Chains A and B, each alone.
Chain A
Amino acid sequence: MAEIVLGIDLGTTYSCVAVSEGGTPRVLEQKGGYRTLPSVVAFNPDGSTMVGHIAKRQAITNPENTIYAAKRLIGRSFTSPEVTKMLELVPFKIVQGPNRDPRIQAFKRNHPIQEISALILKQVKAIAEETLHQKVEKAVITVPAYFSDGQRQATKDAGQIAGFDVLRIINEPTAAALAFGYNKKLNKKIAVYDLGGGTFDVSILDISRDTFEVLATAGNTFLGGEDFDLRILEYVVNSFQKEHGVDLKQDRMALQRLKDASEAAKCQLSFALETEMNLPFVMTVNNESKHLKYNLNRSEIEKMTEDLVDQTIRICQSALEMAALRTAEIDEVLLVGGMTRMPLVQQKVQEFFGRIPAKNVHPDEAVALGAALLGETLLQEEAPLLLLDVTPLSLGVRTAGGYTSILIRQNSTIPSSARHTFTTVSDNQQSVKIQVLQGESKLASENQLLGEFVLADMDPAAAGVPQIEVNFSIDSNGIMEVSAKDVVTGKEQSIIVTAASYLSQEEMTDLRRKTESQNLTDEESVTEVLPEKRR
């Protein structure tokens, strides 16, 4: 049986899985003909889980234990502003984990974010195995191009917990470009505008036949469809407060219903000019049921969200500057991600690039298709395509005085490596601590701390004498590796990684065993159980 590699687009709101055979990728459908899977996980009191459509459907009745948008939390530190923002918005409970990482509390148990993502991936695996009638172990998983090292590592870990051999972590816009340009013998410079459920990326690529060279990438990992939904939600909540004098945000169930309704209204307004938001019995105040009924039109929500779209255009501008290109030099613009269905987005992108975006790219599926293509070519003896991707963020070390010394610049082609020689400052110093940072700020405190590495067990010597050469490298997945060598003796120097938000080795194996033994509740069987629950 031929070896098969899945291409998985692990999205903030929806995930998609594809497989490629003979250079032709196709999306794997689930039972019921769904081509995408909601990235939603729900916990039951007995510890079992529900994933996908079924989890999304029961969200209204079980908001505290229904986890969505886990991708917005993955690989971040609990104290980061993004997590703080999430804390206010979501109905489920986020607590701090042992490595300063956020964890989700459901039925008094703390779940690492990697576990939530792994549950989705596990479901994806089940779907693929059922459709293909064979075991699948290998996968290429996509991440937003602007994901940091920690977020990529966490995604890779999630894949491993789900039982995948993760061949590659690939950037979403790059994958979309692959799906667009593979085997077409193009010679073009293209821009990929990827506005998804939770993240925004833009990549500028140079395609020359089968070589895909990323020239620059930029983005915001906390800007996406969810933020558009929130704008609508805020608007409705405010109007409702003015009318009835009650805050809908206090009622978790109402909030969840409103969130779903906002999303639906946003989607409808991409095609219709006007829609109705109708939520009967949304809240009960003093034994009196309140109903919510608003008419929304397209120009209203465009006004609400225009600044978000403008933000993406500014990011496009900076990406072009980094690629040293003018808009006129771009031959093609691809729109990827569900949010690009919004007419305002299409209009602004068209204005900025001065050309009509390509129509032959499926906004929801292109990323998974591209990942599947890459997966297939990776297994081939002589790869028919060459992918030159870049690292989105600069990698540096903290220097004396709290500044950042950059070792690998942003938009460097990966794999890439840099060396730096460290020494001691006092006599007989036994260890050197190195803080590795990712980000563009000159101040170390404003960049993201990837981890602390301790060069330990150094031989006693006078200050400044030991020369430890540390090799920082970023592999093709965009994940950092660190190794150190004593320049004088040539012996490998041991390195201890601390203060990183990674899962420990024990925790990884633990989670892996857990997900292996606990077979996910099958979608069908849950469907049977669910009506009883609703009653």
Chain B
Amino acid sequence: MINSDKDKDRILIFQETSETLSSEEAFILSRIGAEIRLHDLYSLLPFLPSTTNEHLKALFQKKFLRWKDAKSDRSYLQGASKKVDTEPTNGAPPAPGRPVKNEKLSDEVLEILQSDLFDPDLRVIDKEFRKDILTKLEGIESKNPFDILGISKGANDDEVHQAYIRLSRKFHPDRFFRKKLGHYKRRLDFLFTQIQESYKNLKNSFDREAVARQLKVQVKSTEPKSANTPQRKLDPAIEKIGKAEHFFKLGQTALKLKDYSQAATQFQLAYQVNPTRPQYKKAYDEVSPFLEIHRAEEMIKSAEDSLSHSLPLEAIELAERALRISPESTSAKFVLARAIFEAGEKSRISEALDLLRRVKAAVPRNPDACVLLSQIYYAKKDPSKALKEIEEALRRDPNCALAHKLLSKYSA
């Protein structure tokens, strides 16, 4: 009843009856679901094929299972229609006018036809005709002129001409002179241009032979490379996904090296190329605060540079900008205070003192803030406070050379 070799591609269908089941039989049914290929079922079950067959036999007897008629199977039909499709390329021209049965429309064509329902103008154009335009246009860019005209490579002058006239009669834009074609106008014009081009390339017997020869060479040369070609012919959508992922990886590497700006750029690129994946955006959002801190640090560095080149006014501006980006940065505060002091901005000196006091509190081990404070107090002619700060600085770092120097100066 069940021959595991012969029937492995046949499909089992579950149907409900009131019979009782053994636990194994119930397990098998749970795996079958709606319908399944026998072959697939074997791989899903922990039993040996022979045991499976036993149980299946029982299930057949209890009418829980039946074979699905292979002839009405969709996958079988698809195989058949494929055969029809490949026929013309093998050399036999499809008989003109005979509708190809089992015609399979691609999703894109179906989608366009579906959306046409909402355009009242398009209803005046025969649906079959619209379908013909769309199917004829599908993949036309990669088709050879023989396929476009629907003729064999051995066609003679008259056959080529007849095919051209037949297609022109059907697809010449003049045929719909009075009708609004909507988006079909563009398609029809393009299709007609393609038909003409094909005809132009084939109407002369010498040209026709040349084209046929070229096609033969192309087929031969692409055959061994066929493993590589599909990769090059990536769907642009898929290519985008890959590109985005590549950018994302680059960004992650940069992140490990703490190159935040590079990482941010890469993440942003990834997000732009493929906005559908939220993790790119998330990664960018995560890295962007670091980027800000990084920017602030860069500014502080350049502020210090400006100070060393005795350009305190620039330093003030840079430090202020750094502080705006990262308001908690102690080094920004310190640099700003120092810049104010060195610029001699008397009006802002109290601000500088305030900043330094905060730095002093925030970084208990660092003497720099204290040293600077004492310098400011000294400049404000408040030596007692200056002395106090110096002592504090020395307490924090007994080896601070500047503090020692200042101490001796103040004590004098």
Contacts and interface: CB of A to CB of B under 8 A. Distances in A.
Interface of A: 167, 208, 211, 213, 324, 378-379, 382-383, 386-388, 412-413, 415-417, 473, 476
Contacts of A415: 173, 189, 192-193
Nearest to A476: B174
Given A379-B177, A386-B174, 12 more contacts: A211-B165, A213-B165, A324-B204, A378-B177, A379-B178, A383-B177, A386-B165, A412-B200, A415-B189, A415-B193, A417-B190, A476-B174
Contacts of A383: 174-175, 177
A495 B177 CA distance: 27
B82 interface: no
B196 A413 contact: yes
B168 A476 contact: no
Interface string B181-198: 000000001101100100
24 contacts: A208-B165, A211-B165, A211-B168, A211-B169, A213-B165, A324-B204, A378-B174, A378-B178, A382-B175, A383-B175, A383-B177, A386-B165, A386-B174, A387-B174, A388-B172, A412-B196, A412-B200, A413-B196, A415-B192, A416-B193, A417-B189, A417-B190, A473-B189, A476-B174
Contacts of A378: 174, 177-178
Contacts of B178: 378-379
Contacts of B190: 417
A483 B242 CA distance: 33
Nearest to A416: B193
A413 B175 CA distance: 16
Interface residues of B, number: 16
Contacts of A213: 165
A386 B193 contact: no
Contacts of A476: 173-174
Contacts of A413: 196
Nearest to B178: A379
Contact of A388 (B168, B193, B204): B168
Interface string B106-127: 0000000000000000000000
A474 to B, nearest CB: 10
A196 B302 CA distance: 84
Interface string B356-396: 00000000000000000000000000000000000000000
The A interface is mostly helix, strand or loop, or mixed, namely strand
A213 B165 CA distance: 9
Contacts of B175: 382-383
A383 B174 CA distance: 8
Contacts of B172: 386, 388
A167 B178 CA distance: 10
B206 to A, nearest CB: 11
Contacts of B204: 324
Nearest to B176: A383
Nearest to B172: A386
Nearest to A382: B175
A415 B192 CA distance: 8
A189 to B, nearest CB: 12
A6 B192 CA distance: 28
A416 B200 CA distance: 12
B333 to A, nearest CB: 39
For the complex of A and B, the 6 pairs showing the least CB-CB separation, nearest first, are A378-B177, A413-B196, A417-B193, A386-B169, A211-B165, A415-B189
A416 B196 contact: yes
A383 B177 CA distance: 9
A292 B165 CA distance: 60
A460 to B, nearest CB: 17
A485 to B, nearest CB: 11
Contacts of A473: 189
Nearest to A385: B174
B239 to A, nearest CB: 14
Interface string B156-174: 0000000001001100111
A388 B195 CA distance: 13
Nearest to B179: A381
A385 to B, nearest CB: 9
A69 to B, nearest CB: 32
Nearest to A409: B200
B256 to A, nearest CB: 30
A128 to B, nearest CB: 21
A208 B168 CA distance: 13
Contacts of B193: 415-417
Contacts of A412: 196, 200
Contacts of A379: 177-178
Contacts of B174: 378, 383, 386-387, 476
A383 B172 CA distance: 11
Contacts of A167: 177
A388 B192 CA distance: 11
Contacts of B200: 412
A386 B168 contact: yes
Contacts of B192: 415
B338 to A, nearest CB: 41
A268 B189 CA distance: 50
Contacts of B189: 415, 417, 473
Nearest to B193: A417
B14 to A, nearest CB: 49
A377 B189 CA distance: 20
B209 to A, nearest CB: 16
